[in-house]
A and B are shown apart, each in its own frame.
Chain A
Amino acid sequence: MGSSSQSVQAVDLSQLDAVFAKYADMANGSLIPVLQAAQDTYGYLPLKALETIARKLQIPISQIYGVVTFYAQFRLVPRGKHVIRSCQGTACHVRNSARILESLKSTLGVAPGGTTEDLKFTLETVACIGACSLAPVMMIDTDAHGRLRPDRIPKILDSYSN
Chain B
Amino acid sequence: MTSDNTLRRLQRADDLDAMKAKVLPRIAIRKDPKAPIYEGVTHHVMICCDTGCTSSGSRKIVEAFENDLKAKGLDKSVEVVVIGCHGFCEMGPLIVIYPDDVYYVHLSPDNIPQIVDETIKGGKVVEDFLYKEAETLRPIVHYKEIEFYAKQKRILLTNCGHINPEDVTEYIANDGYKGLAKALSMKDNTDALLEEVKTSGLRGRGGGGFPTGRKWELCRNAPGDKKYIICNADEGDPGAFMDRSLMEGDPHRLVEGMIIGALIIGADEGYIYCRAEYPLAIRRLRLAISQAETLGLLGDDILGSGWSFHLHIKEGAGAFVCGEETALIHSIEGKRGMPTARPPFPAISGLWGKPTNNNNVETWANIPGIIRNGGAWYASFGTEKSKGTKVFALTGKVNNTGLAEVPMGMTMREIIFNIAGGIQNGKKFKAVQIGGPSGGCLPDSMIDRPVDYDSLIEAGAMMGSGGLVVVDEDTCMVDLARFFLSFTRDESCGKCTPCREGSTRMLNILTNITQGKGKPGDIELLEELARNIKLSALCGLGQTCPNPILSTIRYFRHEYEEHIFHKKCPAGQCVDLLTYWIDSEKCVGCGSCKKICPVSAIDGEKKEPHVIDINKCIKCGSCIEACKKYKAIFKK
Contact = CB atoms under 8 A, between A and B. Distances in A.
Interface of A: 28-33, 35-36, 66-67, 70-74, 88-95, 99, 102, 106, 126-135, 137, 142-147, 150
A70 B320 CA distance: 11
A90 B433 contact: yes
Contacts of A89: 238-239
B312 to A, nearest CB: 9
Nearest 10 pairs of A and B residues by beta carbon: A89-B238, A72-B318, A133-B89, A133-B401, A71-B317, A144-B55, A128-B238, A91-B395, A31-B334, A130-B241
Contacts of B278: 130
Contacts of A133: 52, 89-90, 241, 393-395, 401-403
Contacts of B436: 90
Interface stretch (B29-37, B252-260, B467-475): B467-475
Given A73-B276, A142-B279, A144-B55, A91 B238 contact: yes
B308 interface: no
Given A89-B239, A94-B471, 14 more contacts: A29-B332, A31-B334, A66-B336, A67-B336, A73-B276, A90-B467, A90-B484, A95-B397, A106-B598, A130-B244, A132-B395, A133-B52, A133-B241, A145-B55
A72 B403 CA distance: 28
**Interface size class for chain B?**
35 or more
B314 interface: yes
Contacts of A29: 314, 332-334
A80 to B, nearest CB: 18
Nearest to A150: B622
Contact of B55 (A35, A66, A91, A146): A146
B52 A36 contact: no
Contacts of A135: 395-396, 401
B335 interface: yes
B487 interface: yes
B621 interface: yes
A99 B241 contact: no
Q: Which of A130, A135, A146, A150 has the most CB of B within 10 A?
A: A130
Given A33-B315, A67-B336, A146-B56, A99 B235 contact: no
B337 interface: yes
A62 B10 CA distance: 49
18 contacts: A28-B333, A28-B334, A33-B315, A36-B315, A70-B493, A71-B318, A74-B317, A90-B395, A92-B238, A93-B238, A94-B471, A94-B475, A94-B480, A128-B277, A132-B467, A133-B89, A134-B55, A134-B56
A134 B236 CA distance: 17
A127 B314 contact: no
Contact of B620 (A73, A102, A128): A102
Contact of A67 (B89, B239, B334, B484): B334
A102 B237 CA distance: 24
Contact of A90 (B239, B279, B394): B239
B544 interface: no
B293 to A, nearest CB: 16
B317 A95 contact: no
B317 A146 contact: no
Interface string B609-627: 0000000000011100000
B402 to A, nearest CB: 5
B214 to A, nearest CB: 28
B620 A132 contact: no
Interface in B18-61: 51-52, 54-56
Nearest to B275: A130
B55 A132 contact: no
Q: Which of A35, A72, A93, A145 has the most CB of B within 10 A?
A: A93
A28 B333 CA distance: 7
B23 to A, nearest CB: 31
Contacts of B320: 127
Given A32-B314, A93-B483, A130 B51 contact: yes
Contacts of A72: 317-319
Given A99-B620, A142-B279, A134 B317 contact: no
